[in-house]
Amino acid sequence: MALPGELWAELPAEKRIFTSVLLFSWAVYLWEAFLAHRQRRVYRTTTHVPWELGQIMDSETFEKSRLYQLDKSTFSFWSGLYSELEGTMILICGGIPFLWNLSGQISGRAGFGPEYEIVQSLVFLLLATLFSALTGLPWSLYNTFVIEEKHGFNQQTLGFFFKDAIKKFIVTQCILLPVTSLLLYIIKIGGDYFFIYAWLFTLVVSLVLVTIYADYIAPLFDKFIPLPEGELKQQIEVMAKSIDFPLTKVYVVEGSKRSSHSNAYFYGFFKNKRIVLFDTLLEDYSALNKEPVEGEEGENEETKSKTKNKKQGCKNEEVLAVLGHELGHWKLGHTVKNIIISQMNSFLCFFLFAVLIGRKELFAAFGFYETQPTLIGLMIIFQFIFSPYNEILSFCLTVLSRRFEFQADAFAKELGKAKDLYSALIKLNKDNLGFPVSDWIFSMWHYSHPPLLERLQALKDAKQE
């Protein structure tokens, strides 16, 4: 009687590859489901505010955050299960070669034969992203208009949602298709060292996108206005100057028209850096804190007008503390380090792609027996073959991110912002209904930011000083 190992060895190479990819995908899903189950158990059983949180969170907010996170976790379970089943069925039923052949038929009818592989690749990419958008639409609708609506975060109407989704799809295609066509062309003509040229091309594209995103892409979806002259702007400029941050502009983005979640970030290279603050972060600017003015109701029919009993956002001193944390990432070189790590990983992946692209069994494993299209090779190698490496890298980057967050908090502490950052973190946690209790394995694997209690404890000593 043959042993399982012997039976495995007797399978053709392409069958072993396909089975390994499928088994690893389900192993990752089951691992994630196990972690989520542990965290949901925390949500279900922790029904009272723990004693160490007594001074931080009232019981009403604690219960709201518990129910919100429980709903999100349950939704994530079902959407994750659907995604895994959909991916499995696509692989087993030959969905990838089917879509590739369909793309060939469409491009052929337009007068482009099999020799126009790049054209066929772009049609394939367009159809694949359209399929993904359509199958993901019901889940996105449920998340926005059931879960986010139920817990008071959604500010969108159905019309705004669909207009936004269509706009995102069009903008994505306008960027994705030209970039992909150039990348495929570079790989085709690059010779033995094409991986170097491909890597340099993706490096340039990523830097350009980071540079133009907030100026040209983000304003297509949200309104950006300069932060008005006043005390807050002056204090931000003084703080930026004190750490030699080359600040040129400060913007406020009207994030409140789609969600009441808050955020802040900076962008730009060299001597041209800008800061962007969501209006939901600013207590004095958030539209959610303002009473609707008579006669203005018709001005913005696409978004809902919801006012809250409690004010949302942070006071000026707390906003400065949050920015002190964000600017700490810049001053401590975290942004540059992340770019370097990302590009080293990108170069390694392109090098390994160059090594593996000639292996016909990789294509045969996914139903491509006669042709080896470059785009399909990129998909197979980057998405499936590299998946174990990607999981390990993702975990390592999560650990590094938590370390960077502690360092940025410490930097804000050195600026004398410990007390204000302490209160800002509590406010932001309440505004976003973050649940402050987490399972340790779930937290270790998923949280790119340290749990609230750990960050507050690190700030507490300096606050008391």
325 is in an annotated binding site: yes
10 is in an annotated binding site: no
| Marked catalytic residue, from 32, 283, 326, 414 | 326
Active site residue 60: no
Active site residue 326: yes
| Marked catalytic residue, from 254, 318, 409, 431 | 409
117 is in an annotated binding site: no
Q: What HEC string does the chain produce? A: CCCHHHHHHHCCHHHHHHHHHHHHHHHHHHHHHHHHHHHHHHHHHCCCCCHHHCCCCCHHHHHHHHHHHHHHHHHHHHHHHHHHHHHHHHHHCCHHHHHHHHHHHHHHHCCCCCCCHHHHHHHHHHHHHHHHHHHHHHHHHHHHHHHHHHCCCECECHHHHHHHHHHHHHHHHHHHHHHHHHHHHHHHHCHHHHHHHHHHHHHHHHHHHHHHHHHHHHHHCCCEEECCCCHHHHHHHHHHHHCCCCEEEEEEECHHHCECCCCEEEECCCCCEEEEEEHHHECCCCHHHCCCCCCCHHHHCCECCCCCCCCCCECHHHHHHHHHHHHHHHHCCHHHHHHHHHHHHHHHHHHHHHHHCCCHHHHHHCCCCCCCCHHHHHHHHHHHHCHHHHHHHHHHHHHHHHHHHHHHHHHHHHCCCHHHHHHHHHHHHHHCCCCCCCCHHHHHHHCCCCCHHHHHHHHHHHHHC
The binding site for Zn(2+) comprises 325, 329, 405
- Residues recognised as catalytic: 326, 409
- Known binding residues are 325, 329, 405
